[in-house]
Each structure stands twice: as structure tokens, then as C-alpha cells.
Structure 1
Amino acid sequence: MIQVANRLHTVEEYYFSRKLREVGQMVASGKPVINLGIGSPDLQPPQKVVEAIVNSLQDATAHKYQSYQGLPELREAMAAFYKDHFSVNINANTEVLPLMGSKEGIMHISMAYLNEGDEVLIPNPGYPTYQSVTKLVGAKAVFYNLKAENNWLPDIDALQKLNLSKVKLMWVNYPHMPTGAQPSKIAFRGLIDFAKRNNILIVNDNPYSFVLNENPTSILSVEGAKDVCLELNSLSKTFNMAGWRVGMVLGSSTHIQNILKVKSNMDSGMFYGIQKGAVEALKCSKMWYVTLNSVYKKRRELIWKLAKALNCTYDENATGMFVWAKLPQGIKAEEFIDTVLIENNIFITPGTIFGSQGEGYIRFSLCASTEAIEECIARVNR
């Protein structure tokens, strides 16, 4: 029998892949499950984005292999987006690389910089893919705890006391998922100084800046950041384009060139029509963000009511398309969400899938209609 690679023994199937199978089986058996677990936008992209991909299909180059670096006009649109929204100057030719979703960027960056045995600082709680990709490339995950009392920000003093001799990479994610915590320029400044002192590359994963957030922030807006930082961003949440798979990585030309060495051996370019649609998305006016957030604001208010009905507490100042809620003292997250799933046919994400610091918390997604959320409240109240 052919044996699988050793790296497969270091990771498990993604939680949502397993759990959504269970939810799917419940639905197939007639259970009216409402999914408040996964952050897959249910709203439509801007109409001009859809029109752009449709209109592009007749272009002479639409069905050919595309550039590994993306269309020049897409890179220019990404650079302009960062200038307009974050006041960050990006060279469209050398400092931005389009990605097929920022998730692939996590793999490409890890493959470009990590050797077997290198160590990686990973937030707890944090996005599970940081850990799984670290393991897949043979590096070692070193978790740093984020705490509510510190607004879910890294404790630089505690980090500096660690043995950092083998640490090469550090993942941060602000605005933070799953908690919705906002960064500050002071926090980013501290991270950049920490990275320079210890020769560590920091990657800020930044796909949630524009959802229920009036102050979008980029780590690259801090002076000196490009020396030691990369930033990932995505069109998935901001423009309801999750299935399109469009993201970007931004940073110094040296770092981008290193990532391109990996990426150019992994794919043959992003589909032309998707790139044309992405260009239009990045040009959206302020009204797009206002309209999008008016929908999410109504949903969030209902989710807050649902959280209260479940005896949970939450931070009204948090941003993003999730509500991170604290369970009553002593209640285990996974046991709680399983009870709600069985008794109320509502699927909620347990905080534990984001790390041990997520115990005692659950996460609600705002990617459900107001009618669906109101039905959830009614079920719980019954």
C-alpha cells in the first residue's frame, strides 16, 4: 500500500469541511438548519463587477494563459486602492502581487521563507490555516496568547522574553478574526520595532478592514513597515467575491519577488475575466461601503439579540463580519454549539477552533439574512 507523505500526519481536515458535512446530513434528513457559522458572504458583488466579467469574455486574450503577476491594470488598481484607503504608496510594478485568494498567499509566503525546523509565531486565537500551513512546510508553530483584557493585541514584552533564535515569521491579523479587535498605529509601531530587533518577517492578514469599520488600517502605513512586513488583503469580504478567489500580497519588491518564485511554479495566472471584474471592484465609490455596512449593521444588531438570548456577552466596539461572544462561566464552547445545533437547528462556530484561548467563546457570522437571524432568535426564545 502506498503511504502518504509524513506531512499529512501533522494536519487534520479543516474544521468547517468536517462540520459542514454533518450540517449537510442534517439538512438532507429534513432538519431546517440555519448556518451562522461560516463567513461566506451571501450578498451580491457590485453590478458593474459582474458586467465586467461578462463583457470580458469576448476579448481576444480572455481565454489565454495570463501573466503570473496579473494584468498591469489590476496591479495599478490595487496600488490605487491602497493609496486611497490606507495612504500607502505602492509601486504597482514591483510591490504588489495578485493572488487567487489570500489563503494561497499564506502557503506561498511560508514556502518562500520557511525551512524545516524554523519557528513561526501564530496568534491564539487565530485563523487555523496559519498553523496548518506551518506544519505542512515542516516548520514549528509557536503560539502567542491574545487576551480580552489587552484588547486581543500582542503582548510585545512577553514575546521578547521568548527564545526567538529560530523564529523567522510572525502572523498577525488586524482587524482581528475571530474577535473583531482593532489595531492601533501604536500597536503596529511596536510590532515593527519588535520585528526589526529580532529579524522576523511579520505578515498582517487584513481582509476585514471595510466591514463595519470606519477606520480602515494597514500595517504598511507605518514608517519602515516594508522593511520587515508583508500584508495580505482580499476582495472576498469587502466586495462579496469570496468564490471569485481574488487577493493580493503587498510589500517590498524583494519580498514580492521571493513570493513570485513560488507562485509562478504553482499556477498559470488568474482568469482574465476575474481580473477585469476585480479592477472594477477596487474602483467602487464610498457609497458601496456605506450600503454594504448598512446591511451588516442591521444583522449585527439582531445577532446581539440572539447572543443575549443565549446568555452571552459581547463587545459592541468590535468590527468585521462576525460577533465574538463570551459564554457564561464554565460552559464549554463545543458542547454548547452542539446543543444549540441539535435543539435549535442553529450552527454556530465554537471559539476553540481558533485555539485554546477561544475556549468559553463562540462566533456568529453575519452572512445570513435578517429573516434567518430573526428565526434563530424565535427558536431560542421558544
Structure 2
Amino acid sequence: MIEVANRLHTVEEYYFSRKLREVNQMIASGKQVINLGIGSPDMQPPQKVIEAISNSLKDASAHKYQSYQGLPELREAMATFYKEHFAVSLNPNSEILPLMGSKEGIMHISMAFLNEGDEVLIPNPGYPTYQSVTRLVGAKTVFYNLDASNNWLPDIDALQSLDLSKVKLMWINYPHMPTGAQPSKIAFKSLVAFAKQHNILIVNDNPYSFVLNDNPMSILNIEGAKEVCLELNSLSKTFNMAGWRVGMVLGHSELISNVLKVKSNMDSGMFYGIQKGAIQALKCSKMWYVTLNSVYKKRRDLIWKLADALHCTYDKNATGMFVWAKLSANQKSEEFIDTVLKNNHIFITPGTIFGSQGEGYIRFSLCASLEDIEECIARITK
């Protein structure tokens, strides 16, 4: 057999890829498993988005290679969206780069700024892709712990005590996944000052701002942030377009141009019709967000009841499309979810896949119907 690259020895198959095989085998054997693990929106995108992609298919440019930077009107729509919702002014020609999903951006940014041996600050708990991409590019992971006592926000004093001489990049993710913690403007200001002091690029991964959250925030709203910060965003959660793969990276033109150097050598532009649909999504009125969140609120209320039935505790002030719940004392996350999967045929995410600080926690997704969540409650209480 051909020997694989050394970089593959630094990562494992993604947890959900492995675990869903087990879930699918249970379903194939006749068991009715309800999936509360994956944050894949189950509702439809706005109707005008569907119409936009459909109507675009006969356009003269629809099936040609597209620009690496996306349609000018898409970048204009992204700039307007950020101005309207985050009070952030961006030049659509130089400070915005559309992406095929924000996950793509994690790799592009890492390849653009990290050399082998550079160090990267990664949240614990946090999105596992930050760690795997860092290792794939040959950089070194340096975890910083988050916990409930500090509302899952970075402890700047603890960060200052580290040897930061080799740290090049820091990942943050607010509103936070998996906990749903909200940032504060003071926390963002402290992070920007920290980045400037140590010449570190901070990247805020920000796809959850509009789910059960009345106060969307961008780190780019902080004075001076563009000098040391990039922000990733996505249409996946806000507009039920996860499979469309529409994301964006935003920031200073020099930083964006460096990311473009990587992207333009790795793919072609986003499909024309998807761009047309994305433009319409970004123009949605306030009523879209109200309607979306009315559904998620009803689901969250039921998930809280399910968490109560499982003797978990949770923060009712958390935002986003997940409920982060603490298990009873001394219970192990993976053992707990495996027992519930085996006995009740309900799949819940163990907190440990997000890092060691996730031990003793589980995460419920709100991407399931009211009927399915009610069935879960019935199975547990029975």
C-alpha cells in the first residue's frame, strides 16, 4: 500500500463521521433513532432564495467558471448585511471574500498565515476543526480553557501568563459553540488589545449570531479590530442553507488578499445560482428572523424539558441552535450518551468531542421537529 502523508497521523476521522455510521446501522436494523446531535437545519430556506436559484439557471453566465471573489453584487449584499446588522463598514471590493462555507475558510486562513512550528491558541471546549486544521498544516495547538465560571469567555490574565512568543493565530467563536455563551463588548475589546500587544491574528468564527439572539455582535465593530482580526460568517444556520455552502471571511484588505492567494489556488468560484440565492437571503426582512426564532424557541423549551428529564442543568440565557447541558455529578459524557442511544434510541452529542473541558456536559441540537423532541421526552420519562 502507498504510505500516507505524515500529516494524516496527526488527525482522526471526524467524530460525527464515525458515530453516524453506528447510528445508521441501528436505523438499518429497524431501530427508530432520533438524532439530536447534528446542527444541520431541517427547515427550508426563504422562498425567494429558492426562486432566485431556480430563475438564475438560464442566465448566460450560470454555468461558467465564476470569479474567485464572487459576484460583485454578492459582496455588496454582504457589506450591506454587516452594516445593517453589526454596524460594521466594509469595502466590498477588498475587505470581503465569499467562501464555499466558513469551514473552508478555517483551512484557507491557516494556510495563509501559519508556518510549520507556529503556535495557535484554540478554545477548549471549541469546534474540533480548529485543532485538526492546525495540525494538518504542521502548526502546534495551544489550548486555552473556557469554563462556566467565566461565562465561557477567554481569561486574558491566564493567556498573558503563557509563553506567547511563537503564537501566530488565535481562534475564538462567539456566540460560542457548543455552549451558546454570548460575548460582551468589553471581552472583545480586551481580546483586540491582547492581539495588538502580542502581534496575534484573532479569527472570530461567527455563524450563530441570529439564532435565539437579540444582540448580534461582530468583533470587527471594535475600534482597531481590523488591524489584527478576521471574522468568518455563514448563511448555513441563519437562512437554513447548510448544504449550499455559502460563507465569507471579512477584515482588512491586506489580510483578505493573503487568504485569496490560497483560495484562488485551491478552487474555482462558487456556483452562480447559489450566489444569486445568497444575495436574496442577505436581503431578508426582520420578519424572517422573527419567524425562524419562534420555531427554535418552541423547540428549545421542549429540549429544556428533555434535559430536566435527564437530570441535567443548563443556562437559559445561552443563545444559538444548541442546548449545552451539565450532567449530574461524576457522570461521563460519552458513557452517558451511549447509554441513552442504546436504551432510548436517542443520539445526543457528548461534550468531550469539543475538548477536555466538555467532560460532564452534553449538547442537544434544536434541529429536530417538535414531534421528535416530544417523542424523546416520552421515551425518557417512560
Tell me which interval the TM-score lies in, with the shorter structure as reference length: over 0.9
User: What are the Cα deviations for residues 316-349 of structure 1, in whole angstroms up to 9, with x where unaligned?
Assistant: 0000000000000000000000000000000000
The secondary structure found in structure 2 opposite 1:304 is helix
The structural deviation recorded for 1:101 is 0.1
Which whole-Å CA distance do the structure 1 matches of 2:131 and 2:31 have between them?
A: 34
Q: Does residue 146 of structure 2 align to residue 146 of structure 1?
A: yes
Which whole-Å CA distance do the structure 1 matches of 2:60 and 2:282 have between them?
A: 23
User: What are the Cα deviations for residues 159-186 of structure 1, in whole angstroms up to 9, with x where unaligned?
Assistant: 0110000000000000000000000110
RMSD between superposed Cα atoms in Å? 0.3
Q: Does residue 308 of structure 2 align to residue 308 of structure 1?
A: yes
Task: Tell me which residue corresponds to 2:263.
Answer: 263
User: What are the Cα deviations for residues 264-299 of structure 1, in whole angstroms up to 9, with x where unaligned?
Assistant: 001111000000000000000000000000000000
Which whole-Å CA distance do the structure 2 matches of 1:222 and 1:200 have between them?
A: 16
Alignment-mate amino acid for residue 19 of structure 1 = K
Alignment-mate amino acid for residue 279 of structure 1 = I
Q: TM-score, normalised by structure 2?
A: 1.00
Alignment-mate amino acid for residue 267 of structure 2 = D
The secondary structure found in structure 1 opposite 2:174 is coil
Alignment-mate amino acid for residue 261 of structure 1 = K
Alignment-mate amino acid for residue 50 of structure 2 = V
Task: Tell me which residue corresponds to 1:165.
Answer: 165
Once the two structures are superposed, the pairs formed by residues 183-332 of structure 1 within 5 Å of their partners are 183-332=183-332
Task: Tell me which residue corresponds to 2:36.
Answer: 36
Alignment-mate amino acid for residue 258 of structure 2 = N
User: What are the Cα deviations for residues 202-258 of structure 1, in whole angstroms up to 9, with x where unaligned?
Assistant: 000000000000000000001000000000000000000000000000000000000
Identity of aligned residues (%): 84
Alignment-mate amino acid for residue 114 of structure 2 = L
The secondary structure found in structure 1 opposite 2:44 is coil
The structural deviation recorded for 1:50 is 0.3
Which whole-Å CA distance do the structure 2 matches of 1:266 and 1:45 have between them?
A: 28
Which whole-Å CA distance do the structure 1 matches of 2:105 and 2:125 have between them?
A: 20
The structural deviation recorded for 1:2 is 1.2
The secondary structure found in structure 2 opposite 1:38 is coil
Alignment-mate amino acid for residue 236 of structure 1 = S
The secondary structure found in structure 1 opposite 2:316 is coil
Which whole-Å CA distance do the structure 2 matches of 1:228 and 1:316 have between them?
A: 33
Task: Tell me which residue corresponds to 2:84.
Answer: 84
Q: Which runs of at least 4 in structure 1 moved beyond 6 Å after TM superposition?
A: none
Which whole-Å CA distance do the structure 1 matches of 2:221 and 2:268 have between them?
A: 31
The structural deviation recorded for 1:47 is 0.2
Which whole-Å CA distance do the structure 2 matches of 1:255 and 1:276 have between them?
A: 26
Task: Tell me which residue corresponds to 1:353.
Answer: 353
Alignment-mate amino acid for residue 150 of structure 1 = N
Task: Tell me which residue corresponds to 1:380.
Answer: 380
Task: Tell me which residue corresponds to 1:116.
Answer: 116
Query: Gaps spanning 5+ residues in structure 1: where?
Result: none
Which whole-Å CA distance do the structure 1 matches of 2:330 and 2:161 have between them?
A: 31
The secondary structure found in structure 1 opposite 2:281 is helix
Query: Gaps spanning 5+ residues in structure 2: where?
Result: none
Task: Tell me which residue corresponds to 2:52.
Answer: 52
Which whole-Å CA distance do the structure 2 matches of 1:253 and 1:377 have between them?
A: 50
The secondary structure found in structure 2 opposite 1:362 is strand
Q: How many residues align?
A: 382
Which whole-Å CA distance do the structure 1 matches of 2:313 and 2:185 have between them?
A: 28
Which whole-Å CA distance do the structure 2 matches of 1:366 and 1:52 have between them?
A: 27
The structural deviation recorded for 1:79 is 0.3
Task: Tell me which residue corresponds to 1:127.
Answer: 127
The secondary structure found in structure 2 opposite 1:17 is helix
Which whole-Å CA distance do the structure 2 matches of 1:261 and 1:91 have between them?
A: 18
The structural deviation recorded for 1:111 is 0.1
The secondary structure found in structure 1 opposite 2:256 is helix
Alignment-mate amino acid for residue 47 of structure 1 = Q
Task: Tell me which residue corresponds to 1:101.
Answer: 101
Which whole-Å CA distance do the structure 1 matches of 2:150 and 2:329 have between them?
A: 20
Which whole-Å CA distance do the structure 2 matches of 1:352 and 1:158 have between them?
A: 22
User: What are the Cα deviations for residues 341-363 of structure 1, in whole angstroms up to 9, with x where unaligned?
Assistant: 00000000000000000000000
Alignment-mate amino acid for residue 346 of structure 2 = I
Alignment-mate amino acid for residue 155 of structure 2 = D
Which whole-Å CA distance do the structure 1 matches of 2:50 and 2:27 have between them?
A: 31
Which whole-Å CA distance do the structure 2 matches of 1:161 and 1:227 have between them?
A: 24
